């Protein structure tokens, strides 16, 4: 069943990040406009309703609503502001001039369920299916993909006592947080854009690892990398150059080789992983149990950590996969001297099941959501 799509026009803030995440959990797709450059991708998103800060609309963003009026049905508009009878009953503001259908004004900040109720009441689902790839293509075409990418860090914890065991860097589109990196960086995306974005993430990872090191905290930090990038000499050379300059971080950073539809030569990937290990970069195999996962990945790649994908873990929790299947993978990791990590731990039940498998570490919303780096290092921007 198609989801309702809502466009949020506002400044980027902790509130809008929370709003995106909450509405997505309610099966409502959300895209944001934080700057004029985001308007092309907003058009590609083709929303069913608009939620906008009144002051931003009056500062010039109201023209976006006029553009929607020309190609779409008149969209319901929720204004984020204090109650203002003048607005509701016909002011001469640019908002009114756009001929948008103002259905409510609500004070900001507000509880997301309030907005969810309004969307349920007024938004009508379009019959046209909009793919995430179309949104990505619009960002790329307008040169806004890299500008909209941000890095957040998800904690990882020991299953024995819940203590902090590490952080994983996650790429997020600040304007559409729900889109996965696998969708952002696919065969349709220029490989050079993916290289630049991955190196930017790696720079943030080194910065966090260095900040933790300076504070006497020996906590590993990991980043995701598609296997296909490890077959690119330009990317590997750039990675090695950075590692050589920061030799004090040896053993503090892991590269998570992700599972995806693009097929890479595993023999080449394994050779590159051996090379990177000589620069002090440990290797983690991510998303194991999905896609093209096969014995070659765990037989040839010199991994220090293996992460079981949440889908296969949840299948075990639901009784659809026997404990022997996942238990044998955990046992294999222990035999190799590698750690096993369970992804997708969101409840106490999940935690109990992960412990039953005998895995070493876990990751998931049970311990909280990913956060911007300034939440972990107070003077992040000054560092």
The pLDDT score that the predictor gives to residue 72 is 60
The pLDDT score that the predictor gives to residue 84 is 43
The pLDDT score that the predictor gives to residue 39 is 86
What is the residue extent of each domain of the chain?
4-130, 142-382
CATH class of 4-130: alpha beta
* The two structure tokens encoding residue 260: 């995806």
CB proximity list for 155: less than 8 A, separation 6 or greater: 164, 166, 167, 363, 367, 368
* The two structure tokens encoding residue 383: 């560092």
CATH number of 142-382: 3.20.20.450
The pLDDT score that the predictor gives to residue 98 is 47
The pLDDT score that the predictor gives to residue 357 is 96
The pLDDT score that the predictor gives to residue 97 is 38
Alpha-carbon distances, residue 297 vs 178, 227, 279, 367 (angstroms): 28, 10, 21, 29
The pLDDT score that the predictor gives to residue 185 is 85
Mean pLDDT of each 10-residue bin along the chain, 383 residues long: 90 92 94 89 91 80 65 80 45 45 88 94 83 91 93 97 97 93 82 95 95 89 95 96 91 90 87 95 90 73 95 95 94 95 97 97 95 90 68
The pLDDT score that the predictor gives to residue 55 is 85
Phi/psi of residue 77, nearest 5 degrees: -120, 125
Read off the pLDDT of residues 119-172 as tens digits, 9 standing for 90 and up. 999 998 877 777 898 999 999 999 999 999 999 999 999 999 999 999 999 999
- With beta carbons less than 8 A apart as the criterion, state whether 171 and 200 touch: no
Q: Beta-carbon neighbour count of residue 218 at 10 Å?
A: 9
- With beta carbons less than 8 A apart as the criterion, state whether 143 and 35 touch: no
Identify the three-state secondary structure at position 321. coil
Read off the pLDDT of residues 71-120 as tens digits, 9 standing for 90 and up. 666 788 898 985 444 434 333 344 443 445 889 989 888 999 999 999 99
Residue linked to tokens 């990937």: 269
CB proximity list for 74: less than 8 A, separation 6 or greater: 99, 100, 101
The pLDDT score that the predictor gives to residue 101 is 81
* Closest listed residue to residue 255, CA positions, set 2, 242, 263: 242
3-state helix, strand, coil split of the chain in percent (to 5) is 45, 20, 30
The pLDDT score that the predictor gives to residue 319 is 94
The pLDDT score that the predictor gives to residue 294 is 64
- What sign does the dihedral 294-298-300-303 (CA atoms) show? positive
- Whole-structure pTM value: 0.87
Identify the three-state secondary structure at position 102. strand
The pLDDT score that the predictor gives to residue 256 is 96
């Amino acid at each position: 069943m198609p989801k309702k799509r809502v466009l949020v026009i506002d400044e980027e803030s902790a509130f809008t990040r929370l709003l995106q995440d909450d509405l997505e959990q309610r099966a409502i797709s959300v895209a944001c406009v934080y700057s004029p450059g985001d308007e092309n991708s907003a058009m590609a998103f083709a929303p069913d309703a608009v939620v906008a800060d009144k002051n931003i609309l009056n500062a010039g963003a109201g023209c976006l609503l006029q553009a929607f009026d020309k190609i779409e049905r008149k969209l319901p508009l929720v204004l984020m502001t204090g109650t203002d009878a003048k607005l509701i009953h016909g002011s001469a503001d640019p908002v009114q001039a756009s001929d948008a259908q103002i259905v409510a004004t609500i004070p900001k900040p507000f509880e997301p369920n309030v907005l969810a109720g309004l969307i349920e009441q007024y938004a009508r689902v379009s019959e046209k299916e909009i793919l995430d790839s179309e949104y990505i293509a619009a960002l790329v075409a307008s040169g806004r993909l890299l500008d909209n990418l941000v890095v957040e860090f998800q904690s990882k914890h020991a299953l024995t006592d819940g203590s902090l065991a590490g952080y994983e860097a996650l790429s997020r589109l600040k304007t559409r947080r729900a889109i996965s990196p696998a969708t952002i960086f696919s065969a349709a995306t220029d490989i050079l854009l993916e290289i630049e974005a991955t190196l930017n993430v790696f720079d943030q990872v080194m910065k966090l690892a260095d900040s933790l090191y300076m504070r006497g905290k020996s906590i590993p930090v990991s980043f995701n990398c598609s296997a296909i990038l490890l077959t690119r000499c330009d990317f590997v050379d750039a990675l090695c150059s950075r590692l050589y300059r920061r030799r004090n971080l040896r053993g503090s950073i892991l590269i998570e080789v992700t599972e995806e539809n693009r097929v890479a030569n595993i023999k080449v990937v394994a050779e590159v992983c051996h090379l990177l290990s000589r620069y002090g970069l440990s290797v983690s195999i991510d998303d194991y149990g999905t896609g093209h996962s096969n014995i070659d990945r765990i037989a040839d790649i010199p991994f220090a950590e293996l992460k079981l994908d949440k889908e296969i873990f949840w299948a075990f929790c639901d009784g659809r996969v026997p404990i022997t299947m996942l238990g044998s993978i955990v046992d294999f990791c222990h035999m190799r001297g590698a750690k096993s990590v369970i992804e997708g731990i969101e409840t106490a039940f999940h935690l109990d099941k992960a412990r039953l498998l005998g895995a070493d570490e876990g990751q998931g919303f049970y311990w909280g959501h990913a956060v911007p780096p300034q939440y972990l290092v107070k003077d992040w921007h000054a560092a």
